[in-house]
């Protein structure tokens, strides 16, 4: 069954169990995060294994593992696996209804344009995150392989519990299949703009929700079509 936020536009809130880093989960048999593969050491003994943090605006091509991504699983009977391989960030879910978000922890942004090249096999959804903070929440743009899309407001209620509030839900044939598509999420002032392949899908006034700044990130979810793999070939962080 697909995530309710994509098909129930009238729903006021969607609350699901999730794992917080360093917290005790409240759900039975909680999923565990798959650790990132270890970074390879540089040829010289003096070289550090930790790469230099990226500048404020950058392109992540996922050719090597990065220590600056933190992955949080939200729901799912089995843990989702994350890996940096074949020139992409791979998120593999073996069970249905598994949802994962990845947050890039280096910089915070108020106005930012996040773009990513995404493919899904065989189905599910992929998305982008802006203005993420643990204290106030985040905006999440999700697009599914059946052509539906939406914006969610995510908020932590307590350790182990997150609430999702659907802000909009719609569909567009440009998203059908979602293989090799470029998604874009432009968060500027009170406006949120959604793009696919450089085409504007929707412009939304988020004044009533009040988020002002935070980290950027990505999201992926399986539906009934498990197992599912989402591949992010690159992500670009721009002013616009």
In a domain, 42, yes or no: no
pTM of structure: 0.79
In a domain, 33, yes or no: no
In a domain, 219, yes or no: yes
In a domain, 213, yes or no: yes
In a domain, 162, yes or no: yes
Q: Containing domain of residue 156, as a range?
A: 4-20+56-238
Q: What is the mean pLDDT of residues 178-195?
A: 95
Using 50, 70 and 90 to split pLDDT, how confident is the model at 11?
very low
CATH of the domain at 113: 2.60.120.200
In a domain, 142, yes or no: yes
Stronger pLDDT, 202 or 12, i.e. the higher one:
202
In a domain, 30, yes or no: no
Q: What per-residue confidence (pLDDT) applies to 70?
A: 95
Stronger pLDDT, 35 or 89, i.e. the higher one:
89
Q: What per-residue confidence (pLDDT) applies to 160?
A: 65
In a domain, 105, yes or no: yes
Query: What does the H/E/C string look like for the chain?
Result: CCCHHHHCCCCCCEEEEECCCCCCCCCCCCCCCCCCCCCCCCCCCCCCCCCCCCCCCEEECCCCCCCCEEEEEECCCCCCEEEEECCEEEEEECCCCCEEEEEEEEEEECCEEEEEEEEEECCCEEEEEEEEECCCEEEEEEEECCCEEEEEEEEEEECCEEEEEEEEEEECHHHCCCCCEEEEEEEECCEEEEEECCEEEEEEECHHHCCCCEEEEEEEECCCCCCEEEEEEEEEEECC
Count: domains in the chain = 1
Q: What per-residue confidence (pLDDT) applies to 4?
A: 40
């Amino acid at each position: 069954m697909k995530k309710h936020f994509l098909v129930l536009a009238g729903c006021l809130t969607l609350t699901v169990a999730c794992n917080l880093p360093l917290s005790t989960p409240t759900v039975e048999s909680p999923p565990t995060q798959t650790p990132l593969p270890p970074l390879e050491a540089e040829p010289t003994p003096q070289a550090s294994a930790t790469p230099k943090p990226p500048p404020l605006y950058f392109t992540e091509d996922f050719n090597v593992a990065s220590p600056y991504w933190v992955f949080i699983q939200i729901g799912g009977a089995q843990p989702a696996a994350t890996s940096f391989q074949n020139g992409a960030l791979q998120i593999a879910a073996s069970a249905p209804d598994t949802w994962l978000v990845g947050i890039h922890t280096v910089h915070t942004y108020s106005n930012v344009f996040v773009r990513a090249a995404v493919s899904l096999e065989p189905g599910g959804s992929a998305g982008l995150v802006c203005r993420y903070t643990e204290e106030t929440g985040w905006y999440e743009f999700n697009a599914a392989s059946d052509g539906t899309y939406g914006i969610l407001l995510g908020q932590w209620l307590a350790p182990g519990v997150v609430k999702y509030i659907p802000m909009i839900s719609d569909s567009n044939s440009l998203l059908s299949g979602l293989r090799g598509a470029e998604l874009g999420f432009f968060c500027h002032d009170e406006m949120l703009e959604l793009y696919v392949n450089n085409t504007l899908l929707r412009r939304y006034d988020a004044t009533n929700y009040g988020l002002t700044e935070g980290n950027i990130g990505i999201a992926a979810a399986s539906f009934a079509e498990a197992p599912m793999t989402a591949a992010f070939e690159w992500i670009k962080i721009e002013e616009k």
